[in-house]
Amino acid sequence: MDNILEVRDLKVWFPVKKGVFARTVGHVKAVDGVSFDLRRGETLGVVGESGSGKSTIARVITGLQKATGGAFTLRGRTAMVFQDPLGSLNPRMTVRATLAEVAGAKACAGLLEMVGMDSSALDKYPHEFSGGQRQRICIARAIASRPELLVCDEAVSALDLSIRAQVLDLLSGLKRRLGLSMMFITHDLGVVQHIADRIIVMNRGRLVESGTCEEVLGSPREEYTRYLMAAVPRIGKKLI
């Protein structure tokens, strides 16, 4: 299996400035020398607490953040699904306008069908939907650009547990149907077990553990990974 994404020694450092002349006195190392591969057709779970660097990696890969050092190679188009669906949708645009902006007017009904929604939603506005429905609309917008890599940044963390499982099942189905590769970013190992083929664990900007779900969850090497496992709200099944 070839790689759709290769990340090598990636660094994202933010300067810490003090004094009248705003002199740089140090750096916050949001990402500090991270390397990994994402294989074509797989889902890679990127796990860690807030501030671990996982979302910063996603922003670099999708072009929203510049790297300080290192490099990455992306072999295909990418699209992103964000944590807050209401905040990422324009409240003044109907669903039809939102999707047509990316895919054209003729594709809108088909895109909604792919995410389990009826075409009657096309002329409604974001505030008229539940959180789960809004996230489905965001997913429809993301796949409208025909990406080969879908980056989901805490895409289900704002949803109720029952809705969360439904959206995870939707993403898994779209991956198979469209032949997508996926990077799924979350703080929750219970969620990542539900969807990922492999896992990398981030802590304070560093990659501290990686492997298949069975390897990482069945025999975690790091105390930090065991800590994350202990904090898991269950989704339908126990951790491995």
192 CB-near residues (< 8 Å, 6+ apart): 45, 47, 184, 186, 199, 213
Indicate whether 54 and 101 sit together in one domain.
no
Indicate whether 166 and 50 sit together in one domain.
yes
Residue ending a domain, choose from 129, 146, 163? 146
- Confidence label for 159 from pLDDT (cuts 50, 70 and 90): confident
Q: Which of 148, 152, 150 is nearest to 179 (CA)?
A: 148
- Kindly report, residue by residue over 73-112, the tens digit of the pLDDT: 999 999 999 988 888 899 999 999 999 999 998 999 999 9
In a domain, 236, yes or no: no
In a domain, 83, yes or no: no
Count the Cβ atoms, other than its own, within 10 Å of residue 176.
9
Indicate whether 109 and 224 sit together in one domain.
no
Q: Which of 18-22, 110-114, 149-153, 164-168 has the lowest mean pLDDT?
A: 18-22
**Residue 213: C-alpha distances to residues 22, 154, 185, 187, 196 (Å):** 45, 18, 14, 15, 7
Tokens describing residue 211? 């492997």
210 CB-near residues (< 8 Å, 6+ apart): 36, 198, 199, 200, 201, 216
In a domain, 235, yes or no: no
Distance (Å, whole) CA 198 – CA 179: 17
- Kindly report, residue by residue over 36-73, the tens digit of the pLDDT: 999 999 999 999 999 999 999 999 999 999 999 999 99
Give the pLDDT of residue 61. Answer: 95
- Bridge partners (DSSP) of residue 202 are 207
Residue 161 sits in a domain whose CATH number is 3.40.50.300
Indicate whether 46 and 156 sit together in one domain.
yes
In a domain, 239, yes or no: no
Distance (Å, whole) CA 209 – CA 235: 23
The predicted model gives 227-231 an average pLDDT of 86
In a domain, 8, yes or no: yes
Residue 3 near residue 34 (C-beta atoms within 8 A): no
In this predicted model, which residue has the larger pLDDT, 28 or 238? 28
Indicate whether 218 and 154 sit together in one domain.
yes
Q: pTM for this one?
A: 0.89
Residue ending a domain, choose from 125, 146, 167? 146
Count the Cβ atoms, other than its own, within 10 Å of residue 236.
11
pLDDT > 70: what percent of the chain? 96
Q: Which of 4-8, 55-59, 185-189 has the lowest mean pLDDT?
A: 185-189
Tokens describing residue 234? 């269950």
Indicate whether 68 and 124 sit together in one domain.
no
End-to-end CA distance of the chain: give it in Å, rounded. 25
In a domain, 238, yes or no: no
Indicate whether 69 and 174 sit together in one domain.
yes
What is the domain extent for residue 14?
3-77+149-230
Task: Provide the domain count of the chain.
Answer: 2
- Confidence label for 190 from pLDDT (cuts 50, 70 and 90): confident
Distance (Å, whole) CA 34 – CA 206: 6
Give the pLDDT of residue 240. Answer: 59
Give the pLDDT of residue 239. Answer: 62
Mean pLDDT of the chain: 92
Distance (Å, whole) CA 171 – CA 177: 10
In a domain, 237, yes or no: no
